[in-house]
Structures are given as structure tokens and as C-alpha cells.
């Protein structure tokens, strides 16, 4: 890893991004910064802003398509921010938000019946979060079984499905604002909606998550059930960026999901280069191995045209696209 003296954390010039996304397409970032702590994240954002860059934040890259070529500016990955821990005290009405969200309290509660809270830095994978909750026998994130990505990305996207979503457990956030300052956000001051936390330019550094007491056995059973259901209908073993489109308002679409619309309009299985609309699920575009971002983005645009033409419904993208 090459470090640059001008950045407050590990930094790589011309860093390939495609392999850092689940779609495996796209070019390189002019700069990739790799903070390892919330404080380094804050400093990295401030440093990028001082140089006139609006940094892009990369989590697990599981809902992201990066365009081919060089992406100018700064990408900050949260990949190294992997701490998850139990805070040592309750948080009801606590005035010490920032301190509570940082791992300053060495003492964790002793019993699993106490606290029911976890603090997760933004780079903790959703899988690691599920495993921690399952081990403690705490319920709240089972519906995220099989959803790839990280806590920060999961919060930003309000990841989930019909059985539950990320914001079901969010109690409080430590975010970095556009000036590079920490801001503490209680749940009541946030306005998450379907697949969008509406955070504007705020970057999630750390989250306080609240669970319900259950048993490891019950949580494990739910995780297995949700995983099995997901595996049945989604192309989980192929390269993709998850659902490309949000489900339209059921009143406008007569209850049809985005995937159903794509299928009914005859676009399921459609191919462009090595990109294909999944044969398993019409809302997924998969990279069959050698697709370029141009193939993927061209196919997405084609499908949108077909659906608009045949159904009159304009599909809205859920997937984020950088650089196109
Ligand atoms: C096979 C597969 C299945 C999937 N199934 C589901 C599903 O069932 N439900 C679902 O909701 N999603 C699903 N997804 C999509 C994806 O897993 C979720 O959207 C996930 O939350 C993305 O998290 P990430 O860390 O990968 O975010 P990224 O893809 O890295 O980023 C997504 C967006 O969040 C922003 N972001 C990332 N980190 C932060 C941060 N710390 N602060 C502020 N903004 C940030 C990014 O800038 C970007 O705009 C699936 C994806 C795949 C590949």
C-alpha cells in the first residue's frame, strides 16, 4: 500500500474500483483513501474538501456501478473501519453521544440481557453484524440475511426487504458533515424512507443499533429461512449490484414490482455485451464475466426504454452510478 504524506490516512493513487464492487465493472479512482477509524474518516473528508474535492463514499460496493475509465477526485472507502462492540452503558437520554459511539468505554455489559445495543463502525459488514446479533440472541437484523455490503452503506440505502430494514435498529448515528465535522444524529431527527436514508451529504461514521431480546436459536432459524427464500429468487451467486430499480408505487404499477414489469415487457434475459438481465430475477443485471460498465449501463438504459414504452412506467434507479 502506498501512503501519501498529503492525506491523513492510507491513500492509493489510480486505485482500481471494479473489484471493490459486487458488479465487478468500472475503472479507477484518481485517489482512494482508506481511513481506519471514525476520526480518520472525518480527517479524510475534511482534507478532500480542503483540496476542492467532494469525496465519494464506498462501502461494500454492493449497490454501485462504477463507469469505465478514470474517476476524477477522491473516493473514500470504509473497508478498514471494522469495529463492532457493545457500549458499556445505556443510552436513554444520554448526553454523551459522540463518546458513546466511539469505542472509549472498555467495559462491555456482562449479560446478554443487558443493554441490547451494539455500536458498529461504518465498515462492519452486514454479515458480521448479523453474526454478532445472532451470537447474542438479539433480534432486529435477521431480514438483512444475504444482503451484501456494510453498515454505513446499509444505513445510507436503508437496505432491507419486506420483512424488515436497516433503520428498524438504528438508534443514533455519528456522521461527518460537509465541513468535516462530527455531528450526532438521534433517530428522531432522521427521515429514512424506502431504500434511502435521505442523509444528503452526511457520511455515516458509526451507528448505535438497538435490538430486541430473543435467542440465538430463534435468530438463527429466521436467518436461515430468509436466506433460503432469497436464494430461491435472486441470482445471489452471480456478479450484480443487487436490484437496479426501486419498486414503483403499486397504485401506478397495478401492484407489479420492477422485476415483474421487466419480465412482462419481455426484457428478462436481454443481453448487451457480457451483461444480461438475470434469467432468475428481472430486477437484476448480471455480469457474466467480462462485461464493461458500458455494457451494463447501456443495458439498463435499454430496459428502461422498453418498460417505459410498453407499460408507460418510468423505472426509478435504486442502484448508484458513479462517473457515467
Ligand atoms: C446479490 C445482492 C443482493 C442484494 N439484496 C438486497 C436486498 O435484499 N435488499 C437491499 O436493500 N439491498 C440489496 N442489495 C443491495 C446492497 O446490498 C445494499 O444496498 C447495501 O446496503 C449496499 O451497501 P454497501 O456498503 O455495499 O454500499 P455501497 O454500494 O458501497 O454504496 C451505496 C451508496 O451508499 C453510499 N454510502 C456507502 N457508505 C456510506 C457511508 N458510510 N455514509 C454515507 N453514505 C454511504 C455510497 O456513497 C452509495 O451512494 C443486494 C445486492 C446484491 C449484490
The CATH number linked to 286 is 3.90.78.10
Give the integer Cα–Cα distance in Å for 51 and 46: 9
Instruction: Look up residue 265 and give its three cell numbers.
Output: 415487457
Catalytic (active site) residue 243: yes
Residue nearest to atom 41 of ligand 1 (CA): 152
First to last CA, the chain: 28
Q: Which residue has the cell 419481455?
A: 266
Q: Which residues, 6 or more positions from 138, have their beta carbon under 8 angstroms from its beta carbon?
A: 112, 116, 118, 211, 212, 213, 214, 219
If asked whether residues 196 and 254 sit together in one domain, one would say: no
**What is the per-residue pLDDT for 103?**
56
Out of 77, 102, 121, a domain closes at 77
Answer yes or no: do 270 and 245 share one domain: yes
Within 10 Å of residue 189's Cβ, how many Cβ atoms?
10
**69 and 109 assigned to the same domain:** no
Q: Which three cell numbers stand for residue 133?
A: 446479533
Query: Domain with 154 in it: what CATH number?
Result: 3.30.465.10
Most informative mutation of 128, 157, 258, 321 for ligand 1 (most atoms within 8 A of CB): 157
From residue 109, how far is each of 113, 238, 283 by CA, in Å? 9, 41, 43
Structural domain count, the chain: 3
Question: Is residue 204 in a domain?
Answer: yes
Candidates 75, 147, 233: which one to mutate for ligand 1, based on the most atoms within 8 Å of Cβ? 147
| Same domain flag for 199 and 108 | yes
pLDDT in tens, the chain (324 residues): 444 458 999 999 999 999 999 999 999 999 999 999 999 999 999 999 999 999 999 999 999 999 999 999 999 999 999 999 998 754 443 434 465 566 554 455 678 999 999 999 999 999 999 999 999 999 999 999 999 999 999 999 999 998 999 999 999 999 999 999 999 999 999 999 999 999 999 999 999 999 999 999 999 999 999 999 999 999 999 999 999 999 999 999 999 999 999 999 999 999 999 999 999 999 999 999 999 999 999 999 999 999 999 999 999 999 999 997
The closest of 252, 269, 254 to 306, measured between CA atoms, is: 269
Q: What's the pTM value of the predicted model, to 2 decimals?
A: 0.94
∠ CA 281-283-287, rounded to 5°: 80
Tell me: do 104 and 142 sit in the same domain: yes
CB contact set of 228 (below 8 Å; sequence gap of 6+): none
Verify whether ligand 1 is closer than 6 Å to residue 125 (CB atom). no
Which structural domain, as residue segments, surrounds residue 215?
Answer: 84-220
| Ligand 1 mean position, distance from CA 185 (Å) | 21
Which residue has the CA at smallest separation from atom 34 of ligand 1? 153
Whether residue 92 is found in the same domain as residue 200: yes
- Residue 226 is assigned to a structural domain of this protein: no
Our answer on whether the CB atom of 278 is closer than 6 Å to any ligand 1 atom is no
One domain for residues 92 and 167? yes
Question: Which one of the listed residues 195, 265, 272, 304 is annotated catalytic?
Answer: 195
Q: In DSSP terms, which residues pair with 31 in a beta bridge?
A: 13, 74
Q: With CA atoms as reference, report the closest residue to 122 among 150, 142, 95.
A: 150
Q: Is residue 29 part of a domain?
A: yes
Residue (of 137, 141, 145, 146) closest to 120 by Cα position:
141
Q: Is 62 in the pocket of ligand 1 (CB under 6 A)?
A: yes
Residue nearest to atom 5 of ligand 1 (CA): 147
Q: By the 8 A CB rule, do 69 and 29 touch?
A: no
Domain membership of residue 4 (yes or no) is no
Amino acid at each position: 500500500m502506498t501512503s501519501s504524506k498529503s492525506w491523513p490516512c492510507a491513500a492509493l493513487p489510480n486505485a482500481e474500483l471494479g473489484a471493490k464492487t459486487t458488479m465487478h465493472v468500472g475503472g479507477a479512482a484518481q485517489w482512494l483513501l482508506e481511513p481506519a477509524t471514525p476520526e480518520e474518516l472525518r480527517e479524510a473528508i475534511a482534507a478532500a474538501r480542503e483540496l476542492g474535492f467532494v469525496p465519494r463514499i464506498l462501502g461494500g460496493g454492493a449497490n454501485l456501478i462504477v463507469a469505465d475509465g478514470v474517476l476524477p477526485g477522491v473516493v473514500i472507502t470504509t473497508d478498514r473501519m471494522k469495529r463492532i462492540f457493545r457500549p458499556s452503558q445505556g443510552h436513554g437520554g444520554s448526553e454523551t453521544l459522540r463518546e458513546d459511539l466511539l469505542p472509549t468505554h472498555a467495559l462491555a455489559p456482562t449479560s446478554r440481557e443487558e443493554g441490547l445495543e451494539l455500536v458498529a463502525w461504518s465498515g462492519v459488514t452486514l454479515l458480521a453484524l448479523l453474526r454478532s446479533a445472532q451470537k447474542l440472541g438479539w433480534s432486529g437484523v435477521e431480514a438483512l440475511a444475504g444482503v451484501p455490503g456494510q453498515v454505513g452503506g446499509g444505513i445510507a440505502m436503508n437496505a432491507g426487504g419486506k420483512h424488515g430494514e436497516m433503520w428498524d435498529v438504528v438508534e443514533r448515528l455519528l456522521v461527518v458533515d460537509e465541513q468535516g465535522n462530527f455531528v450526532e444524529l438521534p433517530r428522531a431527527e432522521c427521515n429514512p424512507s424506502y431504500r434511502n436514508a435521505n442523509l444528503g451529504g452526511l457520511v455515516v461514521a458509526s451507528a448505535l443499533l438497538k435490538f430486541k431480546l430473543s435467542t440465538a436459536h430463534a435468530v438463527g432459524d429466521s436467518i436461515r429461512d430468509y436466506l433460503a427464500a432469497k436464494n430461491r429468487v435472486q441470482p445471489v451467486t452471480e456478479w450484480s449490484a443487487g436490484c437496479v430499480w426501486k419498486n414503483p408505487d403499486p397504485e401506478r404499477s397495478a401492484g407489479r414490482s420492477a422485476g415483474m414489469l421487466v419480465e412482462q415487457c419481455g426484457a428478462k434475459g436481454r443481453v448487451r455485451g457480457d451483461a444480461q438481465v438475470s434469467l432468475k430475477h428481472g430486477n437484476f443485471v448480471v455480469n457474466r464475466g467480462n462485461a464493461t460498465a458500458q455494457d451494463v449501463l447501456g443495458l439498463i438504459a435499454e430496459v428502461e426504454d422498453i418498460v417505459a414504452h410498453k407499460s408507460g412506467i418510468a423505472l426509478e434507479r435504486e442502484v448508484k452510478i458513479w462517473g457515467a
